[in-house]
Structures are given as C-alpha cells and as structure tokens.
Structure 1
Amino acid sequence: MRVLGIETSCDETAAAVVDGERRLLSNLVVSQLDEHRPFGGVVPEVAARAHLEYLDSLIARAMDDAGLGYGELDGVAATAGPGLIGGLFVGLMTGKAIAAARDLPLMAVNHLEAHALTARLTDDLPFPYLLLLVSGGHCQLVAVGGVGRYTVYGGTVDDAVGEAFDKTAKLLGLGYPGGPALERAAVDGDPARFPLPRPMLGREGCRMSFSGLKTAVRHTVERLDTLDERTVGDLAAAFQAAVADVLADRCANALDAFARDHGVPGPLVVAGGVAANAALRARLEDLAGARGTRLVAPPLGLCSDNAAMIGWAGVERLRLGCTDGLDARARPRWPLTEMSPADVEKGAAAWSA
C-alpha cells in the first residue's frame, strides 16, 4: 500500500510517499522561512502563493525519489484542515486532481489526526495512548483510541504553546522562527533568575493557559534597563522552564484520567512542532518514568509539519475504507471531536478487533 501525502496547511510545502510497512519512500519539505521572516510571522497570502509555486515540482521530486510512477500508487492523501484556507485549497485541489486523473482513492486528512497518528508510523504504537499535541496553533491533551476515535481531556483557553514561544522570542529580540531561537538562547540561561508564573499549575483538570505567562515576560522586559545577551538567555530559560512545569503538571492529570478510562497508565505521546524542544522532552520523559510508562516522541524531522504524517494518516484511513469524494472541502477549523460518525465507527471497530 503506497500513498502520496501532500501538506500545505501553513508555511511548509511538503510531499512524501509512505507505504503500509511504515517506510518513508520519500519525504520532502520546502520551508518558507525566507518569505515570512521580513514580516516576523506567517502571512497567509504569501504562504498560499509559495505553495502554488513549489508544490507541483515537489510532488514530482517525491515520486522520483520513491522510484514510482503514479500508476503504482494506491491512494492520495492531502491535508484538508485545519489550517490557512488558501494553502489548504492549493494542496487539497492538487490531491483531488491527481486522484481524479489516476482513478485513485482520495483521503482528505485532518492535520491534527496526522500528528496524532505519527507515533504509529515511527514506533508502531498500538491503540490506545495519550497524546500531548503542542504546536504553533494547537495545544491539547487527547486520548487516542483508534483512527477517528478521540477524547479531548483539555486544551489551552487562550494561546497555543508554540504561539507563546514565538511571541516571547519576538519580545526578546530573537527573531523568527521564535521557538528554536528561544531554545538555543535558553541553553546557558539561569531559569531561576526571573520568577515567572505557572498558569493553571496544581489545578484539577487538563486545561492550559499561556497568555499570562507571555504577558509576564513582556512586563519583565519593560522593567529592565538593558536586555543584554545574558539577560535574554536567563529570561528564555525561565520561560521554557515555566512551560515545561505547566505541561508536565497538565500531563500528570491527563495520565490519571487516561488510566481511569483505559485501565493502563499510558504510553504518553508528544507530537507537533514544540515536541522538538529538548527541555520539554526531558521533562515529559521524567514524568512518564515516574508514572510507570514511557514517552514516545517522533524524530525531530517529523515533529514539525510534514507530508510523511499526512501520507501515513492516508494509509491508516485507506486500510479502514475511510476515503473521500472529490467534493471534500477544505476546513480552516476542524477539531478532532468533529470527525465524521462513519469514520469513528470504523476506527472503533479496528481498535476492538
């Protein structure tokens, strides 16, 4: 089973070919950092035009790298949401065109589901498991019971953690993209120098909040006379430590809820762009070990947006017969809890089998 994956939900143009044996036959990503850096963030119109420019040739390269012709594919998977609507149109319409021209099944993939299933691609992880999804636009704790079967324990009430990383990095003058720059700055910083708040820490449930933490950094910066390299490093380390404390606390509550619901303590999976943060991974690994389970984290190259995870989600759905018509629509908002009932039933049946 070989599936072409297409990802254009934000500012990465990506194409990959994945097979049913969990092999990445090709996996290509074109970053748009240079296009968006002058603006300090992603500009939707610029992103959509870049996808138009890059996607056709990138798909051709992915097919060449895989050593396949289109007639050797078993399906096409394209991100249909959530994301920036212009970019989603580009990728989904391209996927539809290939599927129609080659008479192939189409899978209109939920980007969040693709992140949720990445651990099955990289680690062949069985259902069920607990997922911490942390990225620039999303932050939630989800019990993954099967393809199309998701229970959200809690999410952020304001900023996603990746957004908080980026905005804090901008406050510290670290440039764009902010998350990796802040992590680098924090390496030699003193996290104890600045006492930043830990929103929601110690509360019941799994809800999260990062807006107040970001605001606390801004107030700290405004009170400082100078923002030298050492101070930037200390503030970056303090922010990163606060985020890790909050996420570990929320994950501990979610692990309790997961154990009550499923009778097992985990495993705990972390996915999304922020899952590449080494300090967060280390903190979650300690938590998982203390709870008698393990942490599963994708390789760094599969944490940020990529087409391999879209292709793999296509493989999972194709196996269950969850295909889509050429009338599948792009959806800028598409929570995991809004997966279609038919898909949920098929996912549940596969999990129970």
Structure 2
Amino acid sequence: MKSIAKSVLQSVKHGGAAWLRNSSAYSGKQRFRRLVLGIETSCDDTGAAVVDEAGCVLGEALHCQKEVHLQTGGIIPVVAQQLHRENIDQVVQEALRASGVSMAELAAVATTVKPGLALSLGVGLQYSLSLVSRHHKPFIPIHHMEAHALTIRLTHHLEFPFLVLLISGGHCLLAVAQGVSDFLLLGQSMDIAPGDMLDKVARRLSLRKHPECHSMAGGKAIEHLAQTGNQELLTFPLPMQQYRNCDFSFSGLQNLVNNAIAQKEKEEGIQEGEILSCVKDVAAAVQHAVTVHIIQRTYRAMLFCIKNSILPSKNATLVVSGGVASNQYIRKGLQNLADANDFALLCPPPRLCTDNGVMIAWNGIERLRAGLGVLHSAAGIRYEPSPALPVILSGTS
C-alpha cells in the first residue's frame, strides 16, 4: 500500500499568517491561552492541527490521498482506511512539532466522529482515544459539518446568526448558524451532493484521458474545461422547480447529463470512453446548471430568513464553505446573489474549504469556550457515518 501512497505531507507554521486574526508570535502571556489539537479523518484526507483560542494556527499537517484515488477512479473505503492508518501518527506528530507544543500543554483533543466514511472515521477515533487516554486529556467529538460551518469564525470576526451554505463532495445543506451547536436546518440534498455529481460526470466524460485534466479531480476538471466552453450548447431542466422549500436534488440532473452525453457520442460516432469534441461545452453547461440550482435554493433560504426575522434585515451574512465552494464560477454566482440581496458573502480560504485539521481544532476551541461536548471520559463514544446536522427546526414554505 505504501508504494502507491505517493501523497504529499504538508506542514506549515502559521504563527505569523496575515490572514488569521491575532497572529502575533506565540509567546509571553499567549502561552496561557488554551490549545486544542484537531484530528480529521472523515473521508480521504488525514489532517491535524494545533489552534489556540485566539485563532492562531500554531502548526498543521495534511496527508492527501488524491493521487491514489485518481488512479482507482474514486474513493475506495478500505484503501482510504489503510492510508489513514499508515499516516495518522506521522501527521499528528508533524503538526505538534510544527506548533512547538507538547501534549502536556493541550487543553483537549478534538476529532471528527460524524459524518463520513465509517472505516475512515474509525481510524481517527481509535487513534484519538488512545492519545487522550495515554495523556489524560479531555476529548471533544466533532460534527464535520459543524466544523465547516464555523471555520469562518476563525478567519473573520463574525457573530451569530448567519446563513451558511455547505457544498462539498459528500454534503449539500443550507442552515442558519445561531450558535455553537445550534443550527436551524433549512434545506439539504435529497440524494447526492453537487461535488459527487460533478465527479461522476467527469468520469462519464473520461476526463482523466483529456490532456488538460489527467491530474485533476473530477470537479476541478469540469471547472477547468468550462472556462473555455459554451454553456448554451446544452440546456438542462432545473431540479425541484415545483417544490416550495430549500432542498436540493442532483441525481436527476446527473441522469439528464448522462443521456445528453450518450446522444452527443452517437452524433459524433464515438464510443463511451472517447473524448467528445464538444466536451468543454458539456462541462460548461453542466457547471452552469448546478450553479443555478444552488443559487435558486439559496435565494429561497434568504427570503425565508428575512421574512421570518431569523436574520437581520440589514447586514445579513451568507457563509459558503466545503470543497465545492472553491469553484470560482459557483462562487461568483453566489457573490452576485448576495450583492443583489444586500448580504455579505464570506468564504474561508480555499485550503480551509476542503477537509483539514484546522477546522476541527477550531471547532474544538469553540466548544471548549462554550462548555459544550467536552468529555472527561470518552468511554462509549462511537463514530456515526451519516447523522444529520443537529437542528431545532427544519423545512420552509
């Protein structure tokens, strides 16, 4: 397994990073600030980071499995599990070394326990429980989507409440963040996530064979080709037009795209697996349809929040996070939507939109400060592959 795991281990000290608040040198009275080690293994990236309660990222490390999964055409859970097992100790130790912090100085260890791939979650949880037991540290179980939603409070001074759109390879939801672990769920995907759909379309188009895309993940390849494509070549009916809510659906759209691709292959006289001459146009049309669907549902959420005084009528904020938030076409569309409705649009830096240890550590800090979910005994704690985001209400009309 190690022979194919030619992934990159990245470790960066961020004590002086300009984009983080309070990023002065970590010395003097700053050493009295509480520190949390965050560990992330929900899917295919092994991440760890040490963050203090002022928002300083003292050290981080990330092991990315992308190259391995590109070779296999997608994430294979048992392969992801084995790579986590091989690399988790190295990643955690590298983050601690980069931070200059010892286990004795930590206030707690925070780890993703839900949602995600069961085999991947299990590796992170098992390692973390051994760590906290050995060093007698409190344990903070982290909801992966809560961490994505709250990452923006690491990089910006943002108070609750705010509207958050989480879009990634595995998730798609709209919620109002009303406090740490207090979310009002407005809508979610009823089937697959947008990142999953884009990856599947990329595989159907055989973009790994395209000379410009052979080293790109599926969604990134779609975005790249769409830049020089004509989105008007194909038009797709938008999902859920008849539903007066904020939910999403992408599986039906994917089926329509697959049928259109098959028709184009027939017209061009090529077999599945060969590259269409109009592949850039198809990519542009697909990306546009996904973007419009996301924008329409987000707009409904905005209207619902303002109508019901859930968000302030002025100076409301839309936060967009998750891996798909790095797509610049989608982000530009959401920026236009926010501007038209007097919302501020905030997104974490691209490297914090994808899975990472920093967001887990920061969520641990948020929970530590709020006194929520800090366990002094982790006996009986379990991972949960597919739990919903905790909510107090769901649905709109």
Same fold (TM over 0.5): yes
1:198 aligned onto 2:231? no
Instruction: Look up the match of 1:222.
Output: 262
Give the Cα–Cα distance (whole angstroms) in 2 for the partners of residues 147 and 315 of structure 1: 10
Is 1:326 aligned with 2:378?
A: yes
Report the 3-state secondary structure (helix = DSSP H, G, I; strand = E; otherwise coil) of the residue aligned with 1:205.
coil
Equivalent residue number for residue 174 of structure 1:
207
* Equivalent in the alignment of 1:274: 324
Unpaired stretches in structure 1, ≥5 consecutive residues: 340-353
Residue 317 of structure 1 is aligned with which of 367, 374, 381? 367
Letter in 2 for 1:244: T
What is the aligned partner in structure 1 of residue 358 from structure 2? 308
Query: Is 2:337 the counterpart of 1:337?
Result: no
Could you say what the CA RMSD is over the residues aligned between the two structures, in angstroms? 1.6
Distance 1:163 1:254, change over 3 A: same
Query: What code does the residue aligned with 1:316 have?
Result: E
In the alignment, structure 1 residue 237 sits paired with structure 2 residue 284: yes
Q: 1:228 to 1:48 in 2, by over 3 A?
A: closer
| Superposition deviation, residue 60 in structure 1 | 0.7
Corresponding position: 1:248 with 2:307:
no
List runs of 5+ in structure 2 lacking aligned partners. 1-33, 209-215, 393-397
Matched residue SS, 1:189: coil
Report the Cα distance in structure 1 between the residues aligned to 2:61 and 2:242, rounded to whole angstroms. Answer: 42
* Kept in 2: contact 1:202–1:249 (CA 8 A): no
Distance in 1 separating the partners of 2:105 and 2:390: 34
Query: Paired residue for 2:187?
Result: 154
| 8 A contact 2:112–2:125 mirrored in 1 | yes
Within-5 A mapping of 1:105-144: 105-144=138-177
Distance in 2 between the 1:277 and 1:199 partners?
20
**Cα pair 2:183 2:391 within 8 Å, conserved:** no
1:231-253, CA deviations, whole angstroms, 9 ceiling, x for partnerless residues?
Answer: 11111111111111111110111
Q: Distance in 1 between matches of 2:241 and 2:232?
A: 17
Other structure's SS at 2:164 match: strand
Distance 2:153 2:368 in 1: 15
Quote the residue 1:165 is aligned against. 198
Counterpart residue identity of residue 366, structure 2: E
Deviation, structure 1 residue 229: 6.0
C-alpha deviation, 1:118, in angstroms: 0.8
Instruction: Please give the residue correspondences for 1:208-219 in structure 2 after superposition, counting only pairs within 5 Å.
Output: 208-219=248-259
Task: Return the offset for 1:35.
Answer: 2.2
Deviation digits for residues 273-293 of structure 1 (CA, Å, limit 9, x no counterpart): 101100011000111111111
- Secondary structure at 1:25 match in 2: strand
Q: Percent of aligned pairs with the same residue?
A: 39
CA distance in 2, matches of 1:189, 1:228: 14
- Give the aligned partner of residue 12 of structure 1: 45
State the Cα deviation string for residues 43-99 of structure 1 (Å, max 9, x = none). 111111100100101111100111111111111001111111111111112112222
The match for 2:66 is 33
* TM-score, normalised by the number of residues in structure 1: 0.92
CA distance in 2 between counterparts of 1:5 and 1:124 reads 21
Deviation at 1:22, TM superposition (A): 1.0
Structure 1's 99 and 124: CA in aligned 2 closer, same or farther, altered over 3 A? farther
Change (3 A) 1:188 1:229: farther
Structure 1 residues 169-199: Cα deviation after superposition (integer angstroms, max 9, x where no partner): 1111123621111111111111111112211
Deviation for aligned residue 1:34: 2.5
Alpha-carbon separation, structure 1, partners of 2:109 and 2:311? 37
Residue-pair matches, total: 339
Q: Distance in 2 between matches of 1:26 and 1:241?
A: 38
SS of 1:267's partner is strand
Do 1:12 and 1:305's aligned partners in 2 also have CA atoms closer than 8 Å?
yes
What do the CA deviations read for 1:79-134 (whole angstroms, capped 9, x no partner)? 11111111111111211222222221110101111011111111121110111111
Which of structures 1 and 2 has the bigger CA Rg? 2
Match of 1:346 in 2: none
* Residue identity matched to 1:217: V
User: What is the CA–CA distance in structure 1 between the aligned matches of 2:390 and 2:105, rounded to whole Å?
Assistant: 34
Paired with 1:321 and 1:337, the residues of 2 have a C-alpha distance of 17
| CA positional deviation for 1:11 | 0.4
Q: What is the distance in 2 between the residues matched to 1:202 and 1:276?
A: 29
Answer whether contact 1:268 1:294 (CA < 8 A) is retained: yes
**Aligned partners of 1:61, 1:219: CA distance in 2, in Å?**
47
- One-letter identity of the residue aligned with 1:280: I
SS, match of residue 235 in structure 1? helix
User: Is it true that 1:258 corresponds to 2:305 in the alignment?
Assistant: yes
